[in-house]
């Protein structure tokens, strides 16, 4: 499983936060949640990308994300019993930019 440190823009006019050891699935949720307010891709920088072993299973990652971001948001972003999680950060950003999480609802751009 990949992890990286990011700087995330929460709104257009600044207000950046640092997030450490985020996974691609976590980045997808953060991008989907914040890209509208940030005026585009909210990931302003990414450093220290690494492969972490032992790796969590997809099921373990979904459980971790549910505990951190809430079951409704995670299920909205990654539905189903065996959700398809992004494997790379590029895939995660693309997935997040094509969706929007508002409250607990997921909107998919056509």
**Which residue ranges make up each domain of the chain?**
2-108
Whether a cis peptide bond, with omega within 30° of 0, leads into 54 is yes
Q: Residue 108 — pLDDT band, cuts 50, 70, 90?
A: low
In tens, the pLDDT along 13-36 reads 878 999 999 999 999 999 999 999
CA distances from 96 to 15, 22, 46, 55, 80 (A): 20, 14, 16, 22, 18
Q: Residue 10 — pLDDT band, cuts 50, 70, 90?
A: very high
The full DSSP string for 31-94 is: HHHHHHHHTS--EEEEEEEEE-SSPPPHHHHHHHHHHHH-HHHHHHHS-SSS----SSHHHHHH
Q: Give how far the C-alpha of residue 38 lies from the chain's centroid of Cα atoms, to the nearest Å.
A: 14
């Amino acid at each position: 499983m990949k992890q990286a440190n990011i700087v995330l823009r929460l709104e257009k006019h600044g207000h950046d936060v640092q997030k450490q050891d985020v996974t691609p699935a976590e980045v997808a949720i953060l991008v989907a949640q914040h890209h509208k307010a940030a005026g585009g891709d909210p990931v302003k920088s990414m450093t220290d990308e690494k492969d972490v072993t032992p790796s969590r299973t997809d099921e373990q990652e979904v459980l971790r994300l549910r505990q951190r971001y809430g079951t409704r948001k995670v299920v909205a972003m990654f539905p189903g019993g065996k959700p398809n999680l992004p494997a790379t950060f590029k895939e995660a950003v693309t997935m997040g930019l094509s969706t929007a999480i508002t409250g607990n609802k997921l909107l998919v751009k056509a």
